[in-house]
Amino acid sequence: MEPSYLALHRRGELERRTEAAVRGLEECRLCPRSCGRNRLADEAGWCRTGRKARIAGFHAHFGEEAPLVGSGGSGTIFISSCNLLCTFCQNDDISHGRAGDDVEPIHLAAMMLNLQERGCPNINFVTPSHVVPQILEGLLIAAEHGLSVPLVYNTGGYDSVETLRLLDGIVDIYMPDFKFWDNEWGDRFCGVKDYRERACEAIREMHRQVGDLYLDGEGIAVRGLLVRHLVMPGGAAGTTDVMAFLAGLSPYTYVNVMDQYHPCGRGAADPLINRRITAQEYASAVRAARDSGLHRLDNRERRRRF
């Protein structure tokens, strides 16, 4: 199955989408925060990112979900900063610390092509919501030089439907988080009062574009939706409601119920979440997923640290 962006590239639509996305940086509304900063003039909003994308690193990642890894590892590109900046971020040095370097589109394209050459079955952009135009600029160059693997949009779930529509026919695999159901926790941990509403809208749009996760004969994802849900201490993630929503979207939704929460960053000082989850909390979360009717749960072997 050919990645969708190649057809758009052949007819000039990928270039048109890229130009439209870049123009939008003049008054940035890429994500629901709608800061309105002129990022073409290198002004930065909440994401602390101006005209150029900042990249912390890239490599073949063997710790991702089973359908993304294959024999070559998911071709992961870690983008610095974020449009959410959760207090408990598990990649605190990259998101809050802004580890990495600003890069030109040609350098981003080279990363994509390098990962493909290593045998990675996809290019996996981690926290891409605030740099969609920059990704498209790099993709345009990479497609011209032979990139031909699917793109993974690996996001925190706080995405603008308008921005996602620019990606319709470009991204084949969406991998959003669904972090919280209760907006109280989105406000407390991320400074957003509407996380649930925006995540629901975004995930519905992603599913409309790509449908349920489709695997090839070797079990590798080629298109579709894969949702991550990090189980948090004290039920802060609202797992039961999140799973009910996902099952209502489709009982075939592929879900990774994640057990690796540990106190990071400012989360270590928050009495609500300054501990790991218990075995009982994780088992309850998996049971909630199955009770909702979901049955495609990521089944990687885990080293649990309860």
Task: Write down the pLDDT at residue 1.
Answer: 82
- pLDDT tens for 191-204 read 999 999 999 999 99
Task: Write down the pLDDT at residue 148.
Answer: 98
**Structure confidence at residue 300 as a pLDDT band (50, 70, 90):** low
Q: Does residue 306 carry a pLDDT above 50? A: no
Q: Report pTM.
A: 0.95
Q: Does residue 94 carry a pLDDT above 90? A: no
Task: Write down the pLDDT at residue 256.
Answer: 97
- pLDDT tens for 1-58 read 899 999 999 999 999 999 999 999 999 999 999 999 999 999 999 999 999 999 999 9
pLDDT above 90 as % of the chain? 91
Task: Write down the pLDDT at residue 163.
Answer: 98
- pLDDT tens for 149-183 read 999 999 999 999 999 999 999 999 999 999 999 99
Q: Does residue 281 carry a pLDDT above 80? A: yes
Cβ atoms within 10 Å, residue 56? 20
Query: Exposed/middle/buried for 148, CB within 10 Å: 0-12, 13-18, 19+?
Result: exposed
Q: Domain locations in the chain?
A: 4-297
CATH superfamily for domain 4-297: Aldolase class I (3.20.20.70)
Report the mean per-residue pLDDT for the chain.
Answer: 95
CB 151 within 8 A of CB 145: no
Residue 202, C-beta contacts closer than 8 angstroms, at least 6 positions apart? 155, 157, 158, 159, 160, 161, 164, 176
